[in-house]
Amino acid sequence: MIKRKIWLIVIAFVCVAIMSAVLSSMVTAAWPLSDVSPSHWAYNYIKWLYDNGITTGYSDNTYRPSNSVQRDEMAAFLQRQAGATVAAGAHVEPNSGGGMEITEWFNNVNGQTPTLTWEYAWVIDFKFNPNDRFPVCSVDMDGSLFGLCTVKFLNEKVRVGIYDVKEDSFLEPIGFWILVFGNDIQP
């Protein structure tokens, strides 16, 4: 009876070890960059670059996120980035009434005109699902001492926070560009 219990325990440990090895290999296959865990602050950015073919990591399955990017690595990023074209873009500027307005836009995903609203931050609705896309914001720096733009998707819209310090005032409205990158660009 004791031998049978020992055998059952041994078999259970072997099964757990085999399942652990299988699951570990499945996780490695899904995410090969061993030095960038889901808890790393840049995981989502690096994962997007990897999923969209812009980065491949090193041959030893590392990304080395603390290293500086070398010229040859940046050239490879830029060459691969040509395949992840901008899906949509909008230029927003202050208007004479004190608000902001979209002055230029392009949308290669569905051709719809984007809309701009204020909801504790500027919200741009490009009228397409932003899943698997990546937003980037750029501040118009003309006449600015310091400009900062934060951007993220929220409820299928792009939410933008703009902060600008000018020479004669504090936190004035400033123009900005929003670019949304993706691989599903239509001509």
User: What is the pLDDT, as a whole number, of residue 140?
Assistant: 78
Q: Clarify whether residues 18 and 76 are in a common domain.
A: no
Q: Would you say residue 16 lies in a domain?
A: yes
**Structural domain total, the chain:** 3
Q: Clarify whether residues 91 and 43 are in a common domain.
A: no
Q: Clarify whether residues 110 and 147 are in a common domain.
A: yes
List the chain pLDDT tens, one digit each, 187 residues: 565 555 445 454 444 445 554 444 444 457 889 999 999 988 988 888 888 777 888 889 999 888 887 877 777 776 676 655 667 889 998 888 878 899 998 887 777 889 998 887 888 998 887 777 788 888 877 666 677 778 888 888 888 887 766 666 666 677 888 888 776 554 3
Those residues whose C-beta lies under 8 Å from the C-beta of residue 112, and which sit 6 or more positions away, are: 126, 127, 128
Q: Would you say residue 11 lies in a domain?
A: yes
Those residues whose C-beta lies under 8 Å from the C-beta of residue 32, and which sit 6 or more positions away, are: 57, 61
Q: Clarify whether residues 103 and 176 are in a common domain.
A: yes
Triad 167, 120, 174: Cα angle to 5°: 25
Q: Would you say residue 187 lies in a domain?
A: no
Q: Clarify whether residues 95 and 171 are in a common domain.
A: yes
Q: Clarify whether residues 67 and 77 are in a common domain.
A: yes
Q: Clarify whether residues 10 and 77 are in a common domain.
A: no
Q: Would you say residue 97 lies in a domain?
A: yes
- Which pair of structure tokens corresponds to residue 88? 């949509």
Tell me whether residue 62 is exposed, middle or buried, using C-beta atoms within 10 angstroms of its C-beta: 0 to 12, 13 to 18, 19 or more: middle
Structural domain boundaries, residue 44: 32-82
Q: Would you say residue 13 lies in a domain?
A: yes
Q: Would you say residue 171 lies in a domain?
A: yes
User: What is the pLDDT, as a whole number, of residue 5?
Assistant: 52
Q: Clarify whether residues 100 and 48 are in a common domain.
A: no
Q: How far apart, in Å, are the Cα atoms of 96 and each of 40, 92, 101, 162?
A: 43, 13, 10, 18
User: What is the pLDDT, as a whole number, of residue 103?
Assistant: 92
Q: Clarify whether residues 102 and 147 are in a common domain.
A: yes
Q: Would you say residue 158 lies in a domain?
A: yes
User: What is the pLDDT, as a whole number, of residue 46?
Assistant: 87
Q: Would you say residue 72 lies in a domain?
A: yes
